[in-house]
Homo-oligomer: A and B are copies of this chain.
Amino acid sequence: MNVQADDFFFSGLNIMGNTSNAVGSKVTPVTVAQLPGLNTLGISMVRIDYAPWGINPPHTHPRATEILTVLEGSLQVGFVTSNPENRLISKVLQKGDMFVFPVGLVHFQRNVGHRNAVAIAALSSQNPGVITIANAVFGSNPPIAADLLAKAFQVKTSVVDQLQSKF
């Protein structure tokens, strides 16, 4: 009723994200949390910056499919199909290439070039959620029991301890 243009507006997707972190990438999300006019409308967008060889680590979106297009650089992208096949569907993308990550599947991107890369992606929910596998599994608060994870990943507890110590 009393909507204003600013309810449907967001600024700053041209600004390069800070990739000085452990994975060498930065996601700048524009979801209903940043852009209230998206409420109930079933869509959102993100900018992703990648340092050379930086990765957007394996993650899922519990409520959205993602479509990504490369603005700058070269990205290896992939997703893994669900049980029992666990097939890796992967491709190296150049500027102007696009790829789809179906709802809920584990997927990732990696900058496979010596210069920065940039992508724009859209998601089929105004509130898609992000689950970074490493953080959810080895970095939860409180932690998942180390012996449970040791059995899940079929390694010694000391390996799990090492993994959990990073997050």
Contact = CB atoms under 8 A, between A and B. Distances in A.
Contacts of A12: 96-97
Contact of A58 (B132, B137, B162): B137
A117 interface: no
A88 B152 contact: no
Given A11-B96, A13-B69, A55 B163 contact: no
A99 B55 CA distance: 28
A166 B162 contact: no
Copies in the complex: 6
B145 A110 contact: yes
Nearest to A78: B144
Given A110-B148, A137-B80, A144-B78, A100 B62 contact: no
Nearest to A101: B8
Interface residues of A, number: 100
A82 interface: yes
A22 B82 contact: no
A122 interface: yes
Interface string A45-81: 1000000000101101111011101110000101111
